[in-house]
Amino acid sequence: MKLYSTNNKNLRVSFKEAVFNSMPQDKGLYMPVEIPHLDADFIKNIENFSLPEIAYKVASTLLKDEIPADDLKALIDDAINFEAPAVKLDDKTFVLELFHGPSLAFKDFGARFMSRVMSYFLKDGEQLLDVLVATSGDTGGAVALGFLGVPNTRVTILYPEGKVSPIQELQLTTNGQNIRAIEVKGTFDDCQALVKQAFADDELNANFRLTSANSINISRLIPQTFYYFNTYAQLKRQGLNDVIFSVPSGNFGNIGAGLLAYKLGLPVKQFIAATNINDTVPRFLETGVYETKPSTQTYSNAMDVGAPSNWIRIMDLFDEDVESLKKVVTSYRFNDEETLAGIKEIDEQFDYVACPHTAIAYLAIEKFRQENPEDESAAVFLSTAHACKFPDIFPVDIAAKIEIPEQVTALESKPQHADQLGIDFEGFKNYLLNKA
């Protein structure tokens, strides 16, 4: 697979280069030059394949020239070692649970696959890869747990003191091995500034092979296509062939992967991009004007994004043609009050506890059905995180129903460790140089 930049379609880089650069110099995003169709026979018989088998088929269609078959198979079996069940709520409504990985969020698919791809490309005696991440909570957990124990890599995570939830702190500080957690006496922005300055520092770059492993990395997008294909297989097994997906969206990586799956040949009737009041994309689809805004805090805080970083990938997939995009993608926004009402409605109707992000995707399906009463497709809304990660949002009677998964309870008995640093760059730099 060769890739170009969305800012320069004549550029050609290898998949390995794109993975380690994350972003082209011209600040565009990497996109595949060719998006081959999966063979029609495979799609026709997809219900006979398991998630790892489907993942391998999709990945090899894109990456067969970059990673030999046996290595790719092993990499996928190691990375995608948890389930993604489409749970039936009624005859035509399903919730796709993407939170059965180690950090209880869909970002595990991307982080685990990316870490193993990086490690694979580093195996022939290349320099250790140092991943630096600033986190306000969720991304850090997925990256830490995604890289935990992965050879040739080391992760340093900076998080703001007192600003991450107890579960998130457990996920950041109980790892040991190749993961270091640093509690910064400052805000998330301070953490991010330290990391940015480190990437620009000559001495650090001379000593270490630094990467950000961030969410626009192409190796995070590819594994997120797997569960769209796998969901289609699950529905086909139940005799359902027409499917729409509703995706709770912030940076639009998740739905971007769904649309990549569509371009790879997955038959999907409609995608719904569901957002909170950070509604740059729904506004764009209504007005034709793309206007980013500073983000506003909401209950669905992983979607508090005013300038969605993956949107240019989606425009690129549709050759910048908004009309053809609008035939496939609908978008709705919901505020916090509606989100809470959605959580209660899902609980009452289906006795199911959905996290706030998930509830927004559910509300979007209801709205789509109101506007399109003739549409009889099965509707799947993506559940991007386990409800236990957002304990403060729920009314007490619903909170009482949330079961804490064993991935979390297993961490509670482990010793926690974080190094403490201030917000001065010299302190952080000395830490990196001297604690190697």
Ligand X SMILES: *Cc1c(COP(=O)(O)O)cnc(C)c1O
Shortest approach of ligand X to residue 107 CB, angstroms? 6
Binding site for ligand X (CB under 6 A): 105, 107, 138, 248-254, 302-303, 357, 384-385
Comparing CB distances to ligand X, the nearer of 260 and 432 is 260
Which residues pair with residue 331 across a beta bridge?
273
Comparing CB distances to ligand X, the nearer of 120 and 332 is 332
Shortest approach of ligand X to residue 343 CB, angstroms? 14
Shortest approach of ligand X to residue 230 CB, angstroms? 18
Comparing CB distances to ligand X, the nearer of 57 and 112 is 112
Separation of alpha carbons 222 and 61, rounded Å: 11
Helix (H, G, I), strand (E, B) or coil at 356: helix
Shortest approach of ligand X to residue 334 CB, angstroms? 13
User: In degrees rounded to 5, what are phi and psi of residue 175?
Assistant: -80, -50
Catalytic-residue membership of 73: no
Contact 404, 354 (CB under 8 A): no
Comparing CB distances to ligand X, the nearer of 186 and 253 is 253
Separation of alpha carbons 416 and 284, rounded Å: 45
Shortest approach of ligand X to residue 47 CB, angstroms? 27
Comparing CB distances to ligand X, the nearer of 80 and 382 is 382
Shortest approach of ligand X to residue 39 CB, angstroms? 28
Which residues pair with residue 2 across a beta bridge?
14
| Selected catalytic residue, list 9, 16, 64, 107 | 107
Comparing CB distances to ligand X, the nearer of 13 and 96 is 96
Shortest approach of ligand X to residue 41 CB, angstroms? 31
Catalytic residues: 107
